Chain A
Amino acid sequence: MKVAVAGKGGAGKTTIAGTLARVMADRGHRVVAIDDDSNPNLALTVGVDTASASKFPGIPRDMLEERTDAEGIKRLELTIPAEDFIDRFGVPVRDRLTLLVMGQPNHGGSG
């Protein structure tokens, strides 16, 4: 299952996303909680201290490749399998739950 949570800042989307991820993991699912917000604070609501969550160094250039899709739009894609990427850059939260923080501006997520 792939769920995305959207909403205006302050509406509580991060609390809902993080709590939902915890509940799903408690129910036995393997879950990756992905923070795609440019002001990332999903770590707090899944229960990771923000210091360990912010250690993400950014995606190394050799793991990214620019490709042009059918509509002629250029986009960056991973050159390694998603699972390898999550294993390498994800922060283990607890059993079955991993946090992945994408939104820091230092690796181009702010466009």
Chain B
Amino acid sequence: MRGVLGGLVAGTSRMAIVDLEAGLEHLSRGTARHVETLLIVGEPYFKSLETASRSFALAKDLGIASVRMVANKVRTPRDEETVREFTARHALPLAAVVPYDEAVVAADERGMALIEYQPAAPSVAVIRRLAEELLAPTAA
């Protein structure tokens, strides 16, 4: 199916947002070639950040131009500090810091889209800003 995903992303005039397989092992060079921005989502603890860092290296090897980290479920200033310190030390561009948000859990429990359950949730606000930044002409 590898060639199919790449062909779809490349062949459509629409904006494509792809929820990838958890690891990047399945991502072929052929598909990666058509991806402009890869967002790697990680949580603010060491093992998760280490995993993100490995994905980052793999994505760079695949030739993806813009690879950026999104920290998720950030609960405390200390969590944020952990993320910022780690990404700075490993030179990983940090695209967004999404707070831990009860609305995500509650939406999931109700089987609802987060943005429908609580459009003004703190996590949604950060994702809106991320979208704006991705659309800005200055975005890397």
Contact of A102 among B4, B12, B13, B55 (CB under 8 A): B4
Query: Does B131 lie at the interface of the complex (its beta carbon under 8 Å from any beta carbon of A)?
Result: yes
Inter-subunit contact A7/B21 (CB<8 Å): no
Can you list, as one digit per residue, whether each of B79-123 has a CB less than 8 Å from chain A (1) or not (0)?
A: 000000000000000000010000010001001111110000001
- Complex Cα distance, B1 from A61, in Å, reads 12
Which residues of chain A from 57 to 86 have a CB within 8 Å of any chain B CB?
Answer: 59, 64, 67, 69, 73, 75-78, 81-83, 85-86
Can you list, as one digit per residue, whether each of A38-61 has a CB less than 8 Å from chain B (1) or not (0)?
A: 101010111101100000000100
- Complex Cα distance, B43 from A77, in Å, reads 35
Given contacts A11-B41, A16-B98, A45-B114, whether A23 and B127 have CB atoms under 8 Å apart is: yes
Interface of chain B: mostly helix, strand, loop or mixed = mixed
Query: What residues on A are CB-neighbors of B108 within 8 Å?
Result: 44
Inter-subunit contact B17/A47 (CB<8 Å): no
Contact of B8 among A8, A50, A85 (CB under 8 A): A85
13 additional A-B residue pairs with CB within 8 Å, beyond A1-B134, A4-B38, A35-B19:
A3-B16, A5-B19, A6-B38, A6-B39, A6-B41, A11-B72, A15-B123, A32-B15, A36-B20, A37-B19, A37-B21, A44-B108, A77-B3
